[in-house]
Amino acid sequence: MTLLDDFLIRAALAGFGVAIAAAPLGCFVVWRRMAYFGDATAHASILGVALALAFDTSIFGGVLCCALIMATTVSTLSGRGYAMDTLLGVLAHSALAFGLVAVSFLRGVRIDLMAYLFGDILAVGRADLVVIWLGAALVLGLLIWRWSSLLTATLNQELAQAAGINPRREQLILTLALAVVVAVAIKVVGVLLIAAMLLIPAATARSLSRTPEQMAVVAALIGGVAVIGGLQLSFQFDTPTGPSIVCLSTVFFAISSFARLLQRSR
């Protein structure tokens, strides 16, 4: 019997893989105020699940394609006469609704919709682990490769253009990374909680860090600790694992926010 035969070990590895990819990417989501962007991309993944099942193809491939299409659509339409919050709200809820309706048309296909909405980390297999870690490696590789350009384009687009950096290209790179994270995270925390894994560790790390690089590392550590702790709490109290991970992340955020308020009051 190997370590990977233990479902808890597989779950911990899967959650940690998602956390170390989602948290640094979440820093850019926080800096760019793109919270709804993550939601819209995640909600589109349910439509990807339905299409993948309908055409008997890979769930990961279907989710990745729909997430990419959604993210590219948002990037293309932004700044063209649509208020960003309105555009994202319409696309996010429409994609989720169309996905749920499409799932209802599938006949002869057994699908645990709750697992896709809230995740089923305890059911992660070896093949899922390979996909998750390959996706995490791709996202981290993209972020490391383009870190300086992404950061410059995030802080000041005029400065980026003066330095020969194309802000739209950097936006597309973030879009690709976000779509990959959504595709690998759906098995772990589900559609409705993916945005939380992106945002909460990054928001928590913001008050604990002095530099952008430090914030990315601290966010990844917080996400990893939340995964391990959430798994432990779920196992001990028999609670849903994905939501337990997010709840623990929220507790960390509340503690860091309270500590920051105390420090300011002094």
Instruction: Write the DSSP string, 155-194.
Output: H-HHHHHHTT--HHHHHHHHHHHHHHHHHHHTTTT-HHHH
What CATH number does residue 176 fall under? Answer: 1.10.3470.10
Asked if residue 42 belongs to a domain, the reply is: yes
Q: Which domain holds residue 51?
A: 3-194
Say what the pLDDT of residue 139 is: 94
Q: Which residue has the higher pLDDT, 236 or 103?
A: 236
Asked if residue 95 belongs to a domain, the reply is: yes
- Of 180, 208, 192, the residue nearest 100 (C-alpha): 192
Asked if residue 231 belongs to a domain, the reply is: no
What gap in Å lies between CA 27 and CA 202, rounded to an integer? 5
Domains: count for the chain:
1
Map tokens 């209802």 to a residue: 104
| pLDDT tens-digit map of 230-248 | 999 998 999 998 899 999 9
| pLDDT tens-digit map of 112-156 | 777 888 888 888 888 889 999 999 999 999 999 999 999 999 988
Per-residue pLDDT band at 221 (split at 50, 70, 90): very high
| pLDDT tens-digit map of 105-118 | 877 666 777 788 88
**Angle, CA of 241, 243 and 248, to the nearest 5°:** 95
State the Rg of the chain over Cα: 18
pTM for this structure? 0.88
